[in-house]
Amino acid sequence: MAITVISPAEALRRARAGATLVDVREAHERATGFATGAIGIARAELEADPASVLPEAGAEVLLICQSGARSLKAAQALADAGYTCLASVDGGTTRWMAEGLPVTRPDVDTDFYDRYSRHLRLPEVGESGQRRLEAACIAMVGAGGLGSPAAYYLAAAGIGTLVLADDDVVDRSNLQRQILHTDARIGVPKVESARTALSALNPRLTVEAFPERITAANVERLIADADVVIDGADNFPVRYLLNDACVKLRKPLVYGAVHRFEGQVSVFDAGRHRGHAPCYRCLFPEPPPPEAAPNCAEAGVLGVLPGVIGLLQATEAIKLILGIGEPLTGRLLNFDALAMRFRETRLRPDHDCAVCAPGREFPGYIDYARFCAGT
């Protein structure tokens, strides 16, 4: 049947005369305001079981959404289900408000619904997922090339708490790639510079800043409350230390590394999945000789490369917290910027691994600097 389309003013008149007005938008959309008197139920829920909300099939039902498209489709679905007296509100809630008709505004956190509205539209995230992100804590070691893009996007995405550990200060040579920092903050501790930038982007975020070099003495304190740990370090001793601590404390570790024009990303989750997921030591039982793996200060790095890798790390962290998609657990993603090519390598757990082998007690922390120096 053809669906009647009526103006908001006509819908208000009919609703006051006894018609049932139904707002078929999602809950987060209705939280910013809805037509006074409307019943709120998302379109999918309404179409799945209209009888639980609506009166008998012959009663007058008016449907409204944001602009009029969803309400028209919902009306057609109801018509197919046997409802005979239907109308869709032209222009939806947007026009209703523009014409100054009565609106009910719930006492809600409008900043939350406005700020994360695009996440809230994703069924895989929704309000429950966004609340999960806001309750999450991510520990990030390094507020430099990898930490900058990762932290920026995690803050924007609504992660509630970021723990940042870095003992360095901002240097002019950092600015080619470390986008958290500015020329005006040269000489400022990187974690404080990061706090300034991230808080300006999302004031809902809590930043716990530790201007400390991570060591065996403080690593557990820094990552103890984290749901996910991100490795943004630029040296092997810290990578091995973080790996061992994450295995011991059963934390997922999102690994990233860059070298000149190439980068790597993976998720090491052996602490929670012994014998099924590898750890960093399964991939690199022994560190390469120092001369074979110079850091960025020695070898140089394409400025945009840490941006690509850091964003991939942020993506993996968000997926882990939401429990969606397929994480990079057991997979190493290699990126070649010059060829613009990604290549994936499958990783298997080493059942003789010194740290994560099933049934093996944690061996304790070691002198990681000496271990990586080969002495």
Number of residues in the chain: 375
Q: Tell me which residue of 65, 29, 14 sits closest to 74, measured CA to CA.
A: 65
- Measured between alpha carbons, how far is 184 from 208 in angstroms, rounded to an integer? 22
Q: Which residues pair with 164 in a beta bridge?
A: 140, 209
Whole-number Cα distances in Å, 328 to 84, 98, 257, 315, 339: 52, 47, 14, 10, 22
What are residue 247's phi and psi, to 5 degrees?
-65, -45
Asked if residue 36 lies in contact with residue 104, where contact means CB atoms within 8 angstroms, the answer is: yes
246 is catalytic: no
- Measured between alpha carbons, how far is 372 from 355 in angstroms, rounded to an integer? 16
- Measured between alpha carbons, how far is 112 from 28 in angstroms, rounded to an integer? 9
- Measured between alpha carbons, how far is 24 from 12 in angstroms, rounded to an integer? 16
* Interaxial angle between packed helices 147-157 and 190-201, expressed in degrees from 0 to 180 and rounded to the nearest 10: 30
Q: Tell me which residue of 349, 328, 141 sits closest to 241, measured CA to CA.
A: 141
Place of tokens 């400390």: 212
User: Is residue 176 exposed (0-12), middle (13-18) or buried (19+ Cβ within 10 Å)?
Assistant: middle
Q: Which residues pair with 21 in a beta bridge?
A: 62
Q: Tell me which residue of 352, 260, 272, 250 sits closest to 297, measured CA to CA.
A: 260
Q: Which of 296, 353, 356, 372 is catalytic?
A: 296
Q: Which residues pair with 210 in a beta bridge?
A: 165
Q: Is the dihedral of CA 87, 19, 43, 121 positive or negative?
A: positive
Q: Tell me which residue of 133, 137, 115 sits closest to 125, measured CA to CA.
A: 133
Would you please indicate which residues are annotated as catalytic (active-site) residues?
Answer: 296
